[in-house]
Structure formats: C-alpha cells, structure tokens
Structure 1
Amino acid sequence: MKRQAYNPYLPAWEYIPDGEPRVFGDRLYIFGSHDRFGAEGYCENDYVAWSAPVEDLSDWRYEGVIFRKDQTPWNTRNQVYYAPDCVQGPDGRYYLYYFVVNSSIISVAVCDKPAGKYEYLGDVSLPDGHAYGTKSEEWFTFDPAVLVDDDGRIWLYTGSSQPENGQYGHEIKGCFVMELAADMLTVISKPKILLPAKWVYTEPNFFEGASIRHIGEWYYLVYPATNMTGLTTP
C-alpha cells in the first residue's frame, strides 16, 4: 500500500452511489450510478468507472466516461441511468447491465475492456424479441445484478419493493431472477421470486439494488432493505 485506504476512498468531488465492485484481472473496478453536485435529482451524469490495483486499494484511477445516456437509442429524452452491474461474458467481453429510470427495461452495453467505451447491445428480451417489461403483465424491473456462474449459466437478478413504482403500470414483486442465454440478452426461464415484496418500513424487507456473488459453496445476495442492509445466503 502506498498509503492508508479509508472512506471516502474516491475524491471528495466524485459521487458514485450504488457502487458495484468487480475484480477483472489484477484490478478492482467500481461501477455505479453517477450523481451531479447541486443536481435536482439522482444520477444525472453519464456512467464513469474508477479502478485500483488489487494489491493497493489506496491508488484509485479515474477511467473516464464509459457509457453516455444518449447512447441508448430509445432513450431520446436522455433520462437518467440507475444502478448498473458489469460482468465478463463467456466470450471474454464485458457486459454492462443498466436501467433507464422508470422504464422497467434492463438494457445491456458491451466492450472489449472493463473500463473502455461501451456500446449499446440491446435490451433483455424474451425469445419472441420483445423487451421484458414492455408488456403490462410483466413484473417491474429495477437495478440489475448479473451472475455468470461457474457452470457457464447466466442469471439476471432484478426487481423492487417500492410501492410507488406501481404507478408505472407493472406489478411490484420484489427481487426475482431470470436465466439468460449465452447471448447475454435473451430470457430463457420464467421469472422466479426470491425475496417477495413486503412494504413494512419497520422490518428488514427487500427494498431494491440486489448484488449477487458466488464464493466457494455459497451464493450471497446483498441488498438494501427497508430499514437496513440485508444479506441472504441461500
């Protein structure tokens, strides 16, 4: 270590909420939403990334803008992006999963480098080609998390328990999971509820922002709860 690492670990002028840490090679990368100082709402800036060598988490490097709001073709009003996740696919490329505010659509961008210039790939869709979340009977998606498991299977975790999200025309189910095909886009399983929506603020129920890891024999699902941070280990 060149110097002691402590919070806040990024410069005081940087605002990366919903931080998702990922180790690729010998560096730790931080992906997340991107707040703007003095803004009237959340996450008004484009996505950026920061990274540090795994042996020195005090030595953070700004990687620059990795994906802009105007790069999603159907996001013509440049609506903000919420909490993303990034994984390396079976083909060796890097896939950035993200959510355009209130859309109920999970979109994907791809790049050959963890913190390079991502390009829009498409939206998570059913085999018939329609984007999941564009039909009223499909559950409300929010804040994607992705696991490329040891056996090569790909899992998308998403959902919310916020009751106000019901105004967007989709049923709020809590946290649910769907399996994706090797193309990283196509849903090949029915959605399965893992943490049902139960809006009781005084109890630690699932809120939003799931994050998934497979470590050893265990799977860890980390999430903000309605009154604290939750950790589930199925």
Structure 2
Amino acid sequence: MKVTILSAALALGAIFSAKAQNPIIKHIFTADPAPIVYNDTLFLYTSHDTASVKDTNYKMPDWHVFSTTDMATWKDHGALLSPKTFSWATGDAYAAECIERDGKFYWFVSTFHKKDGRSQGGAAIGVAVSDRPTGPFKDAIGQALIINEMTKDLPHAWDDIDPTVLIDDDGQAYMYWGNGSLKWVKLKKNMIEMDGPITTLMPKNFIEGPWVYKRKGMYYLVYASAGTKPEMIEYCTATSPTGPWTYRGIIQENVPNSFTTHPGIIDYKGKSYFFYHNGVLPTGGSYRRSICVDYMYYNEDGTIQKIVQTTKGVDPIK
C-alpha cells in the first residue's frame, strides 16, 4: 500500500527536496538537462532513462519537466512529451531543449523518423509548442523540422540530434545541433521554419550535446567532446552567433560511471549554474543516468573556470 501511495504521488507531480545534494533527481533516472527561467521559476527539461541494469543501449520513452524556485526543492511535472506526440516519429526521446518566445514555449526534440514518403529514417528534430512551460504540448508543425536527408556531410543516420536554440538580442533565432559535426541554421520568427541554408562546421573535438548561449556580449558554444572517452565538456567563444569560434579548452572532466555527459547552463537569481548528468545513483550507469548541478564561475575576460563536480551540489536559495 505504501508503494502504491508513493507511486500515485509521484505520478500527480510530487514536490521533493534534494537537500541540495547531487544528483538532484533521485526517484527516476534523468539525463540531458535543459534549464530555462520563466517568471522567476527555473524549469528543467530532461530526458528519461528506463533501461534495465542489464541493457546495453538506451531506453528513453519520454521527456520530463521539473521546476524550482530555490535550487533545492524540485517539483516533478511528469512526462509531458514523448515521440508518440509526433505522428512521424519512432524510437527514443533523446536530448531536447525548450525556449520561450512571445508567450509560447517551443520544445525542440531529437528522436528518429519513420520510413515514409518524406524520409527513409534516421535521426530527426521536431518541435512541440505550448502556451505554458508545463504544457500541454502538441506537434507544432505536423512534420519534422530536420530530417536525415537534409544533412549529408556524415554517413551515419544519427547526426541530427541534440538541438539547442539561441534567440539573439536582435530577435534572430538560431538552432544548433549534431553528432560528429555541428550544424546550425537560422529560424524564422515563428520558430517552426528554417530561414536559410544549413551550415556545417567542426569545432575542436566536437561530438554532440551542444549548448549555445550569450552572456555579457560573448557567445558560448559548449559541447560534449570526442577528444577522449568517456566524454568531457569543452567550449568555444565568439563575438557573433555564427562564429568564427575560438576554442577555449576543457571545462568539465569525465563524470563518474557514465561515458556521456551533457551541459545545460543558466544564470538564475544572481548565480551561474552548470547542469550535467552522471551515473552515480544506485544501479545507475551509462544508460541509467542522473542529473546534477554545480556552480559555474567566469573569469574577468569571460572565459569559464573548470567545473568542480561535487556531491554537495549547490546551496538552497533563501
């Protein structure tokens, strides 16, 4: 009975406290953190790992949303989106990012495309939309925004994953994504159409998981690197959202018990936070990951100091 009551509470959107200890989410396995701030609340969009301890590949059925106002107490809003939302999609719910524009929330997601008249399969990027950060979300287009046939620089079928979106100060939106090479494209103001050609580039050691943002006039491209395995986080900076990008180095070393890591970066209530995932929960691992958060510090010239991974995490905001 106790188990049933607990499960029901979690399903209805439980509020739980991580006591500012990493990982911040312990009741399910989560990965690929994507934070945004809206109306003084930090919303965290995540992937969801459900692979068994014996599985040797990902099982990721849906995307979750969590929220906090103090960086210690997190509300689980549940699984608010899945590949089943998209009639054209099949397979797993890979990394995604939500962004607000003109009162609407656009959730850019990576999954796989069914074989049909438009695509022969492979990774694809879709967009869901809602009037609220916690949904309900629906397919904004009725088809994928990016399909494998649009990017031919690499032979493999999973290069169109891990979207990140930047809306610059002049209102121009840009989307970046990729595995093995980085792609970017301008988006129209409606956020559901491309506004120009796709450009491909190769930042040093880039493999996947880009996170692009602007801070104090500087553009940052942060990503999971292929320089070593397991992955590390490296970054570049630029004075323009289209580059050229200057390589700056490693900011996060390997994470424990996971060969992947994934950055999510945000300034909130006067501090800078670096979200990532590892595999440290009991029975955790590379396919059963957990999201953590630690402080992020910048030097006076805007470069990023090395991330110190902790089990303590960050302090509650009073």
TM-score, normalization by structure 1:
0.79
Which residue of structure 2 aligns with residue 225 of structure 1?
Answer: 225
> Are residues 117 and 47 of structure 1, via their aligned partners in 2, closer, same or farther at CA, if it must alter by over 3 Å?
same
> Are residues 152 and 43 of structure 1, via their aligned partners in 2, closer, same or farther at CA, if it must alter by over 3 Å?
farther
Question: Where do 5+ consecutive residues of structure 2 fail to align?
Answer: 1-16, 113-120, 239-318
Give the Cα–Cα distance (whole angstroms) in 2 for the partners of residues 95 and 62 of structure 1.
Answer: 19
Tell me how far 1:219 sits from its aligned partner.
1.0
Find the residue that maps to 1:105 and give its secondary structure: strand
Find the residue that maps to 2:208 and give its secondary structure: coil
Tell me how far 1:17 sits from its aligned partner.
0.8
Contact 2:82 2:93 in 1 (8 A): no
> Are residues 134 and 222 of structure 1, via their aligned partners in 2, closer, same or farther at CA, if it must alter by over 3 Å?
same
One-letter identity of the residue aligned with 1:223? Y
Which residue of structure 1 aligns with residue 95 of structure 2?
Answer: 83
Tell me how far 1:138 sits from its aligned partner.
6.9
One-letter identity of the residue aligned with 1:182? K
Contact 2:211 2:222 in 1 (8 A): yes
> Are residues 124 and 148 of structure 1, via their aligned partners in 2, closer, same or farther at CA, if it must alter by over 3 Å?
farther
Q: Does 1:103 align with 2:122?
A: yes
RMSD of equivalent CA atoms: 2.2
Question: How many positions carry a matched residue from both structures?
Answer: 203
Contact 1:124 1:187 in 2 (8 A): no
Find the residue that maps to 2:206 and give its secondary structure: coil
Tell me how far 1:187 sits from its aligned partner.
1.3
Q: Identify which range, 106-115 or 64-73, moves more after superposition.
A: 64-73
Tell me how far 1:124 sits from its aligned partner.
5.4
Give the Cα–Cα distance (whole angstroms) in 2 for the partners of residues 212 and 206 of structure 1.
Answer: 13
> Are residues 136 and 179 of structure 1, via their aligned partners in 2, closer, same or farther at CA, if it must alter by over 3 Å?
closer
Higher CA-based Rg: 2
Which residue of structure 2 aligns with residue 149 of structure 1?
Answer: 168
Say which structure, 1 or 2, has more relative contact order (CA 8 Å, 6+ apart): 2
Tell me how far 1:134 sits from its aligned partner.
3.2
Selected match of 2:79 from 41, 65, 84: 65
Tell me how far 1:132 sits from its aligned partner.
4.4
Contact 1:146 1:154 in 2 (8 A): yes
> Are residues 4 and 47 of structure 1, via their aligned partners in 2, closer, same or farther at CA, if it must alter by over 3 Å?
closer
Which residue of structure 2 aligns with residue 166 of structure 1?
Answer: none
Map Cα deviations across residues 65-99 of structure 1 (whole Å, 9 max, x no partner). 21122111112xx411100011012x310000011
Find the residue that maps to 1:210 and give its secondary structure: strand
Contact 1:88 1:148 in 2 (8 A): no
**Greater per-residue strand proportion:** 2
Which residue of structure 1 aligns with residue 22 of structure 2?
Answer: 7
Question: Where do 5+ consecutive residues of structure 1 fail to align?
Answer: 126-130, 162-173, 197-203
Contact 2:35 2:42 in 1 (8 A): yes
> Are residues 3 and 223 of structure 1, via their aligned partners in 2, closer, same or farther at CA, if it must alter by over 3 Å?
closer
Tell me how far 1:18 sits from its aligned partner.
0.9
Q: Does 1:38 align with 2:52?
A: yes
One-letter identity of the residue aligned with 1:87? I
Which residue of structure 1 aligns with residue 191 of structure 2?
Answer: 184
